[in-house]
Structure 1
Amino acid sequence: MSVARRSVLRGAAAGAAGVGFATVGSVPSLAAATPGPGKGPLPTHRPFPPLMDDPKGLLALPPGFKYTVVTKAGETKLKTGQPTPGAHDGTAVFDAGRNYLLIQNHEIGSNNALGVPQVAGTVYDTGVGAAGGCTVISVDRDGRNLGEWVGISGTLTNCAGGPTPWGTWLTCEETENKANGTTRLKDHGYVFEVWADGRTANPVPLKALGRYAHEALAVDGDRTHIYLSEDASGPNGLFYRWSAPRGYKLGPKSWQDLAAADFGTLEAMAILGDDGKPIPDVAYLTSAQLLRPFRVAWVPVPDRDAVSVSCRKQFTDGRVTRGKKFEGVFGTRDGVYVVNSYAESGTSDLPADAIPHDGMVWFYNYDADTIQLVTYFPENAAADQGAEAKYDDYNFDGPDNVTVTPWGSLILAEDGNASSHVLSSTPGGPTYAIARNMLNDSEFTGPAFSDDGKVLFVNIQSPGLTLAITGPWRDYLG
């Protein structure tokens, strides 16, 4: 997230239950409710115990858990000798035999002393204003740093993204900036594919996925669709789906096809009410609709490369469903989770009668073509109460990045108005704090669980820290 959210957010969120009971508002709810996303029962977990303050003043954790600092911007070094870049954001972890490999975004939007070095063969835009990119970090099973190098450079504001089934990372530029002939020599606002092997680099924009302020994405298990979020306002952003041509399967060489802006189909989501018409904005929905499925329609994007008009501005009101700050996205076998961080009523880009909230998590079901609200944080004034709310481990707001644990529950990274937490959440059920930033008020980013369930990697965006958290995860999440 590139917006200084603490300067614009009004409220905070729900307590440990993670859901609220606000009024329905102007959207009629569907009659039927389902037990939750996916085909099996909802995951459950034990409550995490209260967090214990860290004597080092960095990370509060539950008893029995510990952390290791993997990288620190400006202090740890790349293999080429330059300092680790700053502004750590979206991250994925891959199994690499005896070790793990992390691919990490750096959300840097201009010339920066801690920008991603432009290493030959990895560069998209050689302009000095393109200081973003990704690094790759080799980490042992205990979270110790074994080496870091550049995976892609010359990009801009790399926010989040998503892993692919073939073991690469799709990194997203959260910008719509075009070339200016000086600091930026190419247009930006694209998705790029990043490899972890230290040898492969194809810094080619995947124009088929659109040019807009990308946040995150997920590839479905059939390798025929990609779901993408847009973090934008004025008007609010959209949730997109890219669909492959009939008979096509995504794979390691698909970047060559996705480089064409007319390959496949890019569409924007419309959530349909009982009358069959698109709900204007997700802020019309509240916890009264928790777990109730809404039908979804997909509307083609006329000009996905946004040559003259931004993708989201190509739709008139009433054709699609908007949302303030579509953020984290993560795919499962049965569907995809997508997060909205917050909403404010009465603003120019939100209907006046919409209902403010401080966090929504949705689940889109592939087979049913429906979407459900599975976690909801109602707007609450607690986070604006200064020191009294600063270290409140029971009031949450501003979920941003999301990942799914090996046991099926959710991990959410807060970017809210009070203290920042890493949260454990059961869809349709409780939410608990599992870490708190004691260093400053910076957001957490890039939560990523190792497949073996041993390590949760997470970042503190500023000053730029990657942390490996270990402990009895299975006792609480398994």
Structure 2
Amino acid sequence: MSAPRESTAGQSTAGQSTARSSVPPPSATRRQVLAAGGATAAGITFTGALTELFAGTAAARGHTGYGPLVPDPDKLLDLPKGFRYRVLSREGDRLRSGEGRVPSNHDGMAAFAGRRGRVHLVRNHENRYDGRIPVPTVRGLTYDPEGKGGCTAIELDARGRVVGERVAVAGTAVNCAGGRTPWGTWLTCEETEDRAGTHGYTKDHGFVFEVHPGDPLRTGAVPLTAMGRFQHEAVAVDPRSGVVYETEDAFDRPFGLFYRFLPNRPLGGTGSLRAGGRLEAMRVPGVPDLSAVRETGAVFDRIEWIEVPDPLARDTPVRFQDFGSGGITHAQKLEGCYWGDRSVYFVSSYARAREGSAADHFGQVWRYEPDRRRLTLVIVFGPDTDVRLPGESPDNICLAPGGGLMVCEDGSGAQHVFGVTRRGEVYAMARGAHNIGTPEDPEWGEFAGVTFSPDGDTMYVNCYTPGTTFAVTGPFA
């Protein structure tokens, strides 16, 4: 593995700054407008009740972002003045463990506290059967030797230096997002329904796997089959009850479902999810498609949970199964999922009527309150052609330590990590500066896996292509 690289915003070398047009073309998306204008983002707001997301995080009150982004002379990551980044890992480097090369397609990620101030990062690799650099197969950590996806784990010392990097699970497929558990493990999710015999796979795929961040051999490569076999995206665990909520990012109609898994051994610690449980899907009476709901603040008080007939989808994908006379509720692009304020929040990145949704939108955030069985639409993202609204296609999302959100957008044009304050103001936190296209037709890899160190002082984030893991430090509010 090559040595970590470090850069500070605002210290560019003459002649090396990234060239950018000062006037966007008439057809520019909002992301391109922000990129051209420096992305100060004052006055840009969500439609919705942002205060619901940030209860208990008053430290962010009055925070309005960190100023315009400064072009990076190394053309990797643009940040506000006063912030700096270190490159912790890049695809193709050698793993410190000697197990092979760092795999490609960096995606979902989480940070965990280790001993003596150390931090463990667990990082997904969304490799399909044709992944550029597969996750190396390792004895005791490999599910299907023909699977190219999985997770790697990075260990950082108290000063943030990489002291270890190894395979955490291998032989899985399309590891997109996931979620952390209250007992300190990572749940990595396969976003596929491919069966054994497809693309050379020797086992069925579409499962969740548990990964111990510091000792992966403790969890191995065991599919949590009771949690369902479908196109998983992300999960969030209720720390009070142990109920696991799951999103499904299905690519065709009928679109994905929102699930809850009721474990037989709730909050039982590492390995307890292997004891099984009951998988249920959410039904919103009278609402077969969440995209049809347009007004923020819309509330549904009679949420029902219907048991999934066949969680393993032996003959029929779960979303096609018979849920009775009331049907079931679908939504396009169900992605991010996280727990906060006694609620689970989940993201629909977009909906497009031309692809089969009931209506169009550019992103929704929903809140489900288990105690009240109540579902509320709290945010609607604005159209990407309107620079007064916050863009399109929210994907990975996390709560920032000082209050507010960090959002990785997954759309076209320049790629950003956006922050959102408690007051709903949107600001650019980072912008990809590595052009993977051509000067005439530039392209940037999307961001994914945004997460914070346990002490809140460092933001970690991945660039999907080329796979790169960054550590960002600076005057976070």
User: What band does the TM-score fall into relative to the shorter chain?
Assistant: 0.7 to 0.9
Instruction: Indicate how the Cα distance of structure 1 residues 415 and 318 shifts in structure 2: closer, same or farther if over 3 A, else same.
Output: farther
Shift of 1:407: 3.1
Which residue does 1:310 correspond to in 2? Answer: 317
Q: Per-residue deviation at 1:100?
A: 0.6
Are the structure 2 counterparts of residues 182 and 281 from structure 1 closer, same or farther at C-alpha, using a change threshold of 3 Å? closer
Q: Distance in 2 between matches of 1:148 and 1:86?
A: 14
Distance 1:85 1:293, change over 3 A: same
Separation (CA, whole Å) in 2 of partners of 1:222 and 1:162: 16
Could you say which residue in structure 2 is the equivalent of 1:401?
396
The 1:181/1:416 distance shift into structure 2, 3 A limit, reads closer
1:213-224 correspondence runs (5 A): 213-224=231-242
What is the alpha-carbon distance in structure 2 between the residues aligned to residue 340 and residue 294 of structure 1? 20
Aligned match for 2:460, one of 457, 461, 468: 457
Q: Tell me the residue number matched to 1:280.
A: 288
- Distance in 2 between residues matched to 1:41 and 1:72, nearest whole Å: 34
Alpha-carbon distance in 2 for matches of 1:315, 1:467: 45
Matches of residues 184-203 of structure 1 in structure 2 within 5 Å? Answer: 184-198=201-215, 199-203=217-221
1:268 to 275, 281, 293: 281
Q: Deviations over 1:77-117 (max 9, x none)?
A: 34115111110111010011322100111000115451100
In structure 1, which of residues 154, 160, 164 is the aligned counterpart of residue 181 of structure 2?
Answer: 164
Instruction: Verify the 8 A CA contact 2:47 2:296 in the aligned structure 1.
Output: no
Q: Following TM superposition, by how much is the alpha carbon of 1:154 offset from its aligned partner in structure 2, in angstroms?
A: 0.6
| Cα pair 1:34 1:291 within 8 Å, conserved | no
Summarize the Cα distance change of 1:371–1:126 in structure 2 as closer, same or farther, 3 Å threshold: same
1:62 is displaced (CA, Å) by 1.2
Q: Residues 260-294 of structure 1: CA distance to partner in whole angstroms, max 9, x if unpaired?
A: xxxx22111123xxxxx3312221123x3237565
Closer/same/farther in 2, CA of residues 381 and 421 from structure 1, 3 Å limit: same
- List gaps (5 residues or longer) in structure 2: 1-27, 35-40, 436-443
Match of 1:368 among 372, 382, 385: 372
TM-score normalised per structure 1: 0.83
The residue that corresponds to 1:328 in the other structure is: 336
**Residue matched to 1:139:** 156
Q: Identify which of 98, 101, 104 aligns with 2:123.
A: 104
Match of 2:52 among 36, 41, 44: 36
Deviation at 1:211, TM superposition (A): 0.2
Tell me how far apart the structure 2 counterparts of residues 227 and 301 of structure 1 sit (CA, whole Å): 14
The alpha-carbon deviation at position 201 of structure 1 amounts to 3.6
Provide closer, same or farther for how the CA distance between residues 373 and 433 of structure 1 changes in structure 2, counting only shifts above 3 A. farther
Name 1:89's counterpart in structure 2: 107
Structure 1's unaligned 5+ residue stretches are: 1-9, 22-32, 259-263, 272-276, 383-391
Between 79-88 and 184-193, the greater mean CA deviation after superposition: 79-88
Contact 2:336 2:346 (8 Å CA) reproduced:
yes
Q: Are 1:244 and 2:263 an aligned pair?
A: yes
- The sequence identity of aligned pairs, in percent, is 39
Q: Is the 8 A contact 1:18 1:375 kept in 2?
A: no
Q: Which amino acid aligns with 1:228?
A: E
Q: Deviations over 1:400-434 (max 9, x none)?
A: 01111223422111111232111112467222211
Query: 1:52 is matched with which residue: 70, 74, 81?
Result: 70
Report if aligned partners of 2:383, 2:389 keep a CA contact under 8 Å in 1: no
**TM-score with structure 2 setting the length:** 0.83
Cα deviation 1:110-169 (Å, max 9, x = unaligned): 154511000011011122xx0111111012345432220011111011111111111111
Aligned residues: 427
2:99 and 2:220 mapped to 1: Cα distance?
23
1:50-73 deviations in Å (ceiling 9; x for gaps): 212111111111111111101000
Aligned counterpart, 1:69:
87
Work out the CA distance in 1 between the residues paired with 2:304 and 2:423. Answer: 24
Q: 2:14 is matched with which residue?
A: none
CA distance in 1, matches of 2:50, 2:75: 43
Question: Alignment partner for residue 117 of structure 1, among 112, 117, 136?
Answer: 136
Shift of 1:296: 2.2
Query: Residue 156 and residue 224 in structure 1: after superposition, are their counterparts in 2 closer, same or farther (change >3 A)?
Result: same
Q: Which amino acid aligns with 1:67?
A: Y
| CA distance 1:182–1:419, shift in 2 (3 Å) | closer
Q: 1:26 corresponds to which residue?
A: none
Report the Cα offset of residue 35 of structure 1: 6.1
Is the CA contact 2:57–2:403 (under 8 Å) kept in the aligned structure 1?
no
User: How many angstroms apart in 1 are the aligned matches of 2:422 and 2:375?
Assistant: 13
> Partner of 1:261 in structure 2?
none
Aligned counterparts of 1:312 and 1:12: Cα–Cα separation in 2:
34
Cα gap change, 1:396 to 1:418, in 2 (>3 Å): farther
Give the counterpart letter for 2:365 in structure 1.
Answer: V
Give the 3 Å change call, closer, same or farther, for CA 56–377 of structure 1 in structure 2. Answer: same
Secondary structure of the 1:378 match is coil
For residues 47 and 389 of structure 2, what CA distance do their matches in structure 1 show?
13
